[in-house]
Structures are given as C-alpha cells and as structure tokens.
Amino acid sequence: LFATAISWFILGVISVTSQDAVTPIRFLLTGVFAHTVYIIGALLPMNIVRKISPYEAMREGEITVNGKRILRANSIYAIAANHFLTKWKRSFLSVLAIALPSTLLAVFLYITVRMQGVMFTSLLGEYVAFEVGTFHYVAIAIALLIALLTTTEINWQNVSERQQEIGVLQAIGWRRQSIRKLILAEGLYTGVASMIFVAFVATGIVFFLYRELTGFGIVLILLASLVPILTGVIGTLIPAERASRLTPMNGIR
C-alpha cells in the first residue's frame, strides 16, 4: 500500500510538471500495478515460511552454525567473499536490484551519446523508433535509489544475524576499522558482480540492436558499469558503521 501511494505521488508530480492530464483509468492501473508487484514479491517468502518445521527450529535453536567455507579465511576479503557466496540468495537479489537499472542506464547513455538520443531498430520486420528523454533518466535514478535502499536493508539484516560472529571477532582483537572494512568488502563484491552483469548484458543489447559496437560505445558502457560499484559500497556504509559499533557483549548476551 505504501508503494502504491508512492507511485500515485510520482504520477501526480509527472502530471503537474509535464502538464499531461492523467485519466482515472491510468491512475488506477498505476496503483494496481505497484501493489501487484509487491504481492508477487511476497509469494516466494510466503511459500518458504510455510515449509519451516517447528521441530527443526527447536533443534537448531536461535543460532545456526554454518560450516560452509568456499575460500580459505585468511584475510578480511576472503571472509567477506565466503559470506557473499554462502548467502548467495540475498547476494543475488542485491546484485539484480542494482544491475537491472544500471543496464538500462548504460544502454540509454549509449543511445543518447552515440545515436543522438533516438533508438531506432527493426523488430519482427517492423521499424521501431524510441526517443530517450530526461524522464527516462529520472526513472532510472529512482530505480537506483530503490536498489540502494534494498542493498542497505539486506546488509543491515546480515549484520543483525551476525552479532555473535562480530562479537567474537572483537573479543579476539579485531578493531572497529577491520569490522567496518569486512562489511564494506561485501558491498564491494556486490558492486563488482553487478558491474560484470551490466557490462555483458548492456553490450549484448547494444550489439543486438545495432549489430555494431565501437570503441567509444564500449567506453560508455564501462563508465556506466562503475555505477553499480558505487551503489554497492554506499549501500553498506550504514550497516558497516552499525557493525563496527557492536561490542562483544552484544554477541555474548
């Protein structure tokens, strides 16, 4: 419902600024679509929750020891990589949230600079022309903001679940700076994975549309690919600061 209210507010702002009258049907469908997206997003967690066995929960207790380790944990970055890979479902969600709008940004940037702002191609034998304007970049900025908030929320949840681990690390001598660096490294991995996704997918889309890819176009795509790294790191600043302020007592208690 909150997302629906937000979508109606944005639609109202667009209507006022562009002097484009919004019909009641369009207004209603926008809210219904926003609400439906979040309902669909709740289906998978709902199904997972239904399958949780009370016996399994009582047997494992509040703290579950995860013995999986892909890399040898001999550095901060290796420990961060292990957590990033073992929590691959959350990592994938965060990567996808950042990569999708960043891919659109890379493609639109290519069209704006290389094609003078007009995307033209043929699809199923029909000529298609599409003009990229300021509104599209505003929409991408909003999507990136949502991706930033999603990344922050996921990392905040990770820190909340790892209070025992962080408490032990501090008890054996880790400083706050090291704890902060550990969480930031996980955000960096998220950004790098998103950057790789953007570079390959955006390149594929551009080549599919125009059957060519110049060196200047590659540079534009690579520049847009830097946005996911910034988003991933910025999204972990607040969780990293929270993790660094935890004390061993938080984990022991």
pLDDT digits (tens, 9 = 90+) for 103-145: 989 888 888 887 666 666 655 556 666 677 777 788 888 888 8
Contact of 93 with 150, CB cutoff 8 Å: yes
∠ CA 71-102-156, nearest 5°, is: 50
What percentage of the chain carries pLDDT values higher than 70? 86
Q: Is the pLDDT of residue 63 over 60?
A: no
Q: Mean pLDDT of all residues in the chain?
A: 83
> Which of 53-62, 65-74, 75-84 is most confident?
75-84
pLDDT at 65: 53
What count of Cα atoms within 13 Å lies in the side-chain half-sphere of residue 48? 6
Give mean pLDDT, residues 60-71. Answer: 59
Give mean pLDDT, residues 221-238. Answer: 92
pLDDT at 186: 93
pLDDT at 196: 95
Give mean pLDDT, residues 159-187. Answer: 89
Q: Is the pLDDT of residue 54 over 90?
A: no
| Helix (H), strand (E) at residue 10 | helix 2-18
Sign of CA dihedral 12, 13, 14, 16: positive
Q: What is the DSSP string of 33-61?
A: HHHHHHHHHTHHHHHHHHT--HHHHHHH-
Give mean pLDDT, residues 86-101. Answer: 89
pLDDT at 191: 94
Give mean pLDDT, residues 199-217. Answer: 84
Residue in this structure with the two tokens 């997003």, named with its chain if needed: 41
Q: Is the pLDDT of residue 238 over 70?
A: yes
* Cβ atoms < 10 Å from Cβ of 181: 17
Q: Are strands 126-131 and 118-123 parallel, antiparallel or unpaired?
A: antiparallel
pLDDT at 199: 92
| Helix (H), strand (E) at residue 150 | helix 134-161
This prediction's pTM: 0.78
pLDDT at 6: 84
pLDDT at 171: 86
As a whole number of angstroms, the distance between CA 97 and CA 145 comes to: 10
Give mean pLDDT, residues 233-242. Answer: 93
Between residues 236 and 136, the one the model is more confident about: 236
As a whole number of angstroms, the distance between CA 20 and CA 7 comes to: 16
Can you list the pairs that 129-134 forms with residues at least 24 positions away whose Cβ atoms lie under 8 Å?
A: 132/108
Give mean pLDDT, residues 62-90. Answer: 77
Q: What is the CA radius of gyration of the chain?
A: 22
**Helix ranges (DSSP H) in 42-130:** 43-50, 54-60, 76-86, 88-114
- Position 188 confidence tier, pLDDT thresholds 50, 70, 90: very high
pLDDT at 228: 93
pLDDT at 57: 63
